[in-house]
Amino acid sequence: MKRWLFTCALLACLSPFASADLLTPGSKLRITFRVDPAAPLPDTMTLDFGLVNVIAPYTVRSATLFDGATPLGTYSSTLFGNYAGALNLDPGASWKSPSSLWNFDNAIVVPFTSISGATIHGAIEFTIQTGSMDITLSQIYMTLNQATGPNTTFVSSPAPTIESICIESGDFTDFCPGDGSGTACPCGNNALLGSDTGCLSSLGVGARLAACGSASITGDTFALRGSQMPNSSALYFQGTTQVGSGSGALFGDGLRCSGGSVVRLGTLTNVGGVSQYPSTGQLAVSIKGALSAGDVRTYQVWYRNAAAFCTTSTFNLSNGLQVLWQP
């Protein structure tokens, strides 16, 4: 079970990340990504922001790179830390292999095998020590390179694919992953340990449920975003308990995580493996879920997976989320 602080601009959650949001010392930018085999073989990786608006000086910016739940290394820089105004942060953070010649902006050495081998289950958590900055989420991208010198590289292709991106600043608990750390998945289809998804589907990945926006009764911008699913129907639902004390119970090709008194929020059709509740014309979660300040609710997405896989069932589920609703 992992505890995150999570909020995200709704457009940034839905598709291509087209919003600006405020980063403060009480929040963090969290990015998940995947790496496909790239050429030339990369030995450096950067997180690039484009133009940001530094409202108040940030002093130090830091970015921790993860493979699943394992931190590989934290990049920190004071460069432009006393500056306020428009600032180009390309790169905003840099990592390199132990043998890389590259050293632009004090890149940090990390174990690079999972990156160059395209086996990393990647995540980055970016924070600032002081101040605040507006970040245009649609401008964020990542690059892979092979260094030819301290400041020169060949660009490796393809670039990493950003799967989700949010400014995290709310209160929720991520629980019931299908990675075998709780209840084992029904046919050995456990996800990568620490991946925070449901059990593997026929796609070879588990579905990821993330929370976006503000879980506030008076200012509800909260949304549930499901990804890494087949292009099929997806049912988003709300419960009052964590099934199996948070470990889940076998259900279809996956685990039932959210239980108790259940409200079906809505059914959507995944496009590109992604969907979100609420979408246009759908009731806010606080209204559909009949919520009040102080309520604790659990959430999950059920999705159709009709391919011959695992059990005779034709469905699977994501990880679970537990949310504390604010006034």
For 18-85, the DSSP string reads --EEEE-TT-EEEEEEE----BSPP-EEEEE--EEEEEE--S-EEEEEEETTEEEEEEEE-TTTT--E
pLDDT, one tens digit per residue, over 215-260 is 889 988 888 988 889 999 999 999 999 999 999 999 999 999 999 9
Structure-model confidence comparison of residues 100 and 196, the more confident one: 100
Backbone φ and ψ of 239, nearest 5°: -130, 180
Q: What is the mean pLDDT of residues 306-325?
A: 94
Q: What is the mean pLDDT of residues 146-159?
A: 94
Q: What is the mean pLDDT of residues 196-213?
A: 89
User: Are the beta carbons of 129 and 143 closer than 8 angstroms?
Assistant: no
Coil, helix or strand for 243? helix
pLDDT for 172 equals 79
Q: What is the mean pLDDT of residues 71-80?
A: 94
pLDDT for 170 equals 60
Residue 27: pLDDT above 80? no
Q: How far is CA 287 from CA 18, 86, 92, 144, in A?
A: 26, 39, 39, 44
pLDDT, one tens digit per residue, over 263-291 is 999 999 998 888 989 999 999 999 999 99
pLDDT, one tens digit per residue, over 157-183 is 999 998 777 776 567 788 999 999 999
- What is the pTM assigned to this prediction? 0.71
Cα atoms in the 13 Å half-sphere on the side-chain side of 53:
7
The pLDDT confidence band at residue 10, using thresholds 50, 70 and 90, is very low
The pLDDT confidence band at residue 5, using thresholds 50, 70 and 90, is very low
d(CA 72, CA 94): 12
Residue 2: pLDDT above 60? no
Tell me which residue of 172, 322, 171, 311 sits closest to 255, measured CA to CA. 311
